Amino acid sequence: QVYATDNRCPHMGFPLDRGTVKDGILTCHWHHARFDLASGGTFDPWADDVRTFPVTIVDGEVWINPAPPSRDPVQHWSTRLRDGLEHNIRLVIAKSVLGLQAASTSYTIPLRIGTEFGMTYSAEGWGAAMSILTCVANTLPHLAEEDRPRALYQGLLHVARECSGQPPRFTVAPLPTGETRPEVFKRWFRRFIDVRDAEGAERCLRTAIDLGLSSQTIADMIFAAVTDHLYLDSGHTVDYVNKAFELLDHIGWEHAAQVLTS
């Protein structure tokens, strides 16, 4: 069989013609990245798929299409960013952020991916890493364009590190209730927080959000409960809640149920 691949290893650019092929596997000898020769798919999550080119043989001549259909860069780098976060691989996170910027995407795309990951794979909920990621998002408008990927990378790297090896967080379902009065939910929520009933407070808040109560009403509920005990958790809770609302200003209120219940 005849196959054609890009000569640059997608991991760090080493020339693949200095690698070896055995049993249909192409191996780069710089960092031992391995690829399926037929498809270009990598066996190593820290590398990336190598680009392949369609090959046909006509009358003994090898014909290669040098311009195969291009992949969707946003979809590709979004998937790779999730891979980098899941495996806590710095290089993959960095390359993904740069790839998304090169595709002229909004900063909210990697920010949403980092948020969904951080809110799913941290059983303890909101932590310092999510606050750092939000601070990064707040500073992006004040940075030069060439510096924004580095800032996003640093925020996402903190999220990957904080979630590494942690169990996932399972959100609660809303109540099957007919209660819709904001003042009632506010009383319930403050009471649950006051007696340190995390499950009751979370379900109360989730229900209020799913009912479509305004963001102002939800903010009033949460900040009222937090300031009932100003130094709750050494005062970090006030800062975490504030940062959570700032993050929603960036990525959209549709993420409120996952973010605020954390």
HEC readout, the chain: CCCEECCECCCCCCEHHHCEEECCEEECCCCCCEEECCCCCECCCCCCCCCEECEEEECCEEEECCCCCCCCHHHHHHHHHHHHHHHCCHHHHHHHHHHHHHCCCCCHHHHHHHHHHHHHCCCCCCCHHHHHHHHHHHHHHHCCHHHHHHHHHHHHHHHHHHHCCCCCCCCCCCCCCCCCCHHHHHHHHHHHHHCCCHHHHHHHHHHHHHCCCCHHHHHHHHHHHHHHCCCHHHHHHHHHHHHHHHHHHHHCHHHHHHHHCC
Alpha-carbon distances, residue 233 vs 100, 154, 162 (angstroms): 37, 26, 19
pLDDT number for residue 18: 95
**pLDDT tens track for 113-149:** 999 999 999 888 899 999 999 999 999 999 999 999 9
Cα gap 230→225, rounded to integer Å: 9
* Cβ proximity of 205 and 260 under 8 Å: yes
Predicted confidence (pLDDT) at residue 232 exceeds the cutoff of 70: no
Predicted confidence (pLDDT) at residue 184 exceeds the cutoff of 80: yes
Q: Which residues contact 184 (CB under 8 A, 6 or more apart)?
A: none
**Residues 10-28, mean pLDDT to the nearest whole number:** 95
pLDDT number for residue 69: 79
**pLDDT tens track for 66-100:** 988 788 999 999 999 999 999 999 999 999 999 99
Alpha-carbon distances, residue 48 vs 34, 36, 79, 96 (angstroms): 10, 12, 11, 11
Predicted confidence (pLDDT) at residue 186 exceeds the cutoff of 80: yes
Alpha-carbon distances, residue 15 vs 7, 53, 100, 221, 262 (angstroms): 5, 17, 25, 59, 46
Predicted confidence (pLDDT) at residue 11 exceeds the cutoff of 70: yes
Provide, rounded to the nearest whole percent, the portion of the chain with pLDDT above 90: 87
pLDDT band, residue 235 (cuts 50/70/90): low
- The two beta strands, 55-58 and 52-53, are unpaired
pLDDT number for residue 111: 97
Q: Which residues contact 260 (CB under 8 A, 6 or more apart)?
A: 205, 209, 218, 222, 244, 245, 248
Partners of 58 in beta bridges: 61
Provide, rounded to the nearest whole percent, the portion of the chain with pLDDT above 70: 98
pLDDT number for residue 233: 64
